[in-house]
């Protein structure tokens, strides 16, 4: 009887877990769709920005005065940004992103910046305390992305870091999320970043954007460069956060679906064991009644 009650208790617990994970799966699926649309619609803009920034590399050798955000200098301190999720239950997404982070060596020190509560927890657990922490809402308001970008810009211009790299998840499709470590500052690495992302997205059948239009800069090259550098940094951070949110919701939906399927499979096994135990208990009672009747 004790075994029968224990199976029934476990069955009810597993069925309750399945209901919770099913509800979380549906919530993640609804959020996933919105996040995917936001990420994919912003990709063409992001690609255009990186193409434009990549075209500016020729100016570095032309002798023209360029903004400090474009200039490469000896790297003594690296700034590394970890973009993670605000909540868990999204599989190995955060761990996979964390594994990309470089570690300090004799050549350069590293200052870490965490975007997302899980990023802060991962860095703190590994004794890598971040110098700054940021939280981002599910809908990714632009002012939050701007706050991250402005902090990185100020740290770079003040000489606190000599380069800025970002480890973030990239949404490819619902079942696939890639993790990338890419250089953000100085901006001379934009062309390489564009090629890497283009290869990943093109491998999934998404056509690479093409723009045959010619580029004219007005009112003057120096003014455009100054505005472009800061706008590029802010908008790139914004697009990276959109990609990360799409990857997060996709990973969470898949993780909750797998959890629901596993709970339902376990519930079926427990239900079968419950029925067998119940049948065995009934059989024992019948045998006891029969034995008592024959003994009398």
Bridge-partner residues for 114, per DSSP? 82, 133
Per the CB < 8 A criterion, the answer to whether 163 and 75 are in contact is yes
What count of other Cβ atoms lies within 10 Å of the Cβ of residue 124? 14
3-class secondary-structure state, position 291: helix
| Distance of alpha carbon 191 from alpha carbon 61, whole angstroms | 16
Average pLDDT over residues 271-284: 77
Q: Which of 49, 80, 90, 246 is catalytic?
A: 90
- Whether residue 182 is contained in a domain is answered as yes
Average pLDDT over residues 121-130: 90
Residues 6+ apart with CB under 8 A from 153: 69, 185, 230, 233
Token digits for 237? 């951070």
How many Cα neighbours within 13 Å face the side chain of 56?
A: 28
Q: Is 90 a catalytic residue?
A: yes
pLDDT recorded at residue 35: 83
Closest of 143, 121, 140, 139 to residue 130, by C-alpha? 121
Token digits for 243? 């990609």
For residue 194, is pLDDT > 60?
Answer: no
Comparison of pLDDT for 149 and 296, the residue scoring more: 149
For residue 93, is pLDDT > 70?
Answer: yes
- Whether residue 275 is contained in a domain is answered as no
Per the CB < 8 A criterion, the answer to whether 165 and 102 are in contact is yes
- Whether residue 90 is contained in a domain is answered as yes
| 107 φ, ψ (degrees, to nearest 5) | -80, -30
For residue 17, is pLDDT > 90?
Answer: no
Q: Which of 3-7, 9-13, 142-146, 187-191 has the highest mean pLDDT?
A: 142-146
pLDDT recorded at residue 80: 92
3-class secondary-structure state, position 100: coil
Look up the CATH number of the domain holding residue 189: 3.40.1380.10
| Distance of alpha carbon 171 from alpha carbon 36, whole angstroms | 8
What is the residue-averaged pLDDT of the chain?
A: 79
- Whether residue 196 is contained in a domain is answered as yes
Which of 12-16, 271-275, 280-284 is predicted least confidently?
280-284
Give the domain extent around 177.
28-207+227-251
| Share above pLDDT 70 across residues of the chain, in percent, rounded to a whole number | 76
Structural domain tally of the chain? Answer: 1
Average pLDDT over residues 116-139: 89
**N-to-C CA span, the chain:** 26
Backbone dihedral region for residue 115 (phi beyond 0: left; psi -120 to 50: alpha; all else: beta): beta
| Distance of alpha carbon 40 from alpha carbon 250, whole angstroms | 13
Token digits for 52? 């434009």
Residue at token pair 């908008």: 235
Under the banding of pLDDT at 50, 70 and 90, the label for residue 286 is: confident
Residue at token pair 């790139």: 236
Per the CB < 8 A criterion, the answer to whether 56 and 66 are in contact is yes
Residues 6+ apart with CB under 8 A from 145: 136, 234, 237, 238, 241
For residue 54, is pLDDT > 80?
Answer: no
- Tell me, what DSSP letter sits at residue 69? G
Q: What is the dihedral of CA 228, 234, 240, 241, to 10 degrees?
A: -160
Per the CB < 8 A criterion, the answer to whether 130 and 151 are in contact is no
| Distance of alpha carbon 125 from alpha carbon 95, whole angstroms | 12
Per the CB < 8 A criterion, the answer to whether 151 and 34 are in contact is no
- Whether residue 61 is contained in a domain is answered as yes
pLDDT recorded at residue 279: 77
- Whether residue 95 is contained in a domain is answered as yes
Comparison of pLDDT for 43 and 232, the residue scoring more: 232
pLDDT recorded at residue 151: 93
Residues 6+ apart with CB under 8 A from 134: 113, 114, 115, 116, 144, 147, 148, 151
Summarised one tens digit per residue, pLDDT across range 229-269 is: 788 888 888 888 988 888 888 888 888 988 888 888 888 88
Average pLDDT over residues 213-219: 64
Q: Which of 7-11, 30-34, 110-114 has the highest mean pLDDT?
A: 110-114
């Amino acid at each position: 009887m004790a075994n029968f009650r224990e199976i029934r208790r476990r069955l009810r617990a597993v069925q309750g877990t399945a209901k919770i994970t099913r509800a979380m799966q549906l919530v993640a699926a609804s959020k996933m769709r919105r996040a995917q649309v936001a990420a994919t619609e912003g990709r063409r803009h992001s690609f255009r920005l990186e193409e434009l920034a990549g075209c500016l590399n020729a100016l570095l050798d032309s002798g023209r005065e360029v903004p400090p955000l474009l200039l490469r200098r000896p790297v003594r301190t690296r700034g590394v940004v970890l973009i993670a999720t605000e909540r868990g239950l999204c599989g190995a997404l955060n761990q996979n992103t964390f594994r990309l982070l470089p570690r300090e060596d004799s050549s350069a020190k590293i200052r870490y910046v965490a975007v997302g509560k899980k990023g802060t927890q991962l860095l703190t657990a590994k004794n890598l305390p971040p110098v700054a922490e940021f939280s981002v809402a599910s809908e990714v308001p632009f002012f939050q992305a701007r706050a991250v970008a402005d902090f990185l810009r100020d740290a770079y211009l003040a000489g606190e870091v000599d380069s800025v790299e970002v480890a973030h998840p990239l949404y490819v499709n619902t079942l696939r999320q890639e993790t990338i470590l890419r250089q953000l500052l100085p901006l001379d690495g934009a062309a390489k970043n564009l090629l890497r992302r283009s290869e990943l997205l093109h491998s999934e059948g998404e056509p690479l954007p093409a723009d045959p239009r010619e580029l004219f800069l007005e009112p003057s090259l120096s003014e455009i460069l100054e505005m472009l550098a800061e706008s590029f940094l802010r908008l790139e951070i914004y697009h990276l956060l959109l990609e990360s949110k799409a990857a997060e919701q996709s990973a969470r939906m898949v993780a909750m679906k797998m959890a629901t399927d596993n709970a339902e499979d376990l519930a079926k096994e427990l239900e079968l064991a419950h029925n067998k135990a119940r049948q065995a208990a009934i059989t024992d009672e019948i045998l006891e009644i029969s034995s008592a009747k024959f003994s009398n």
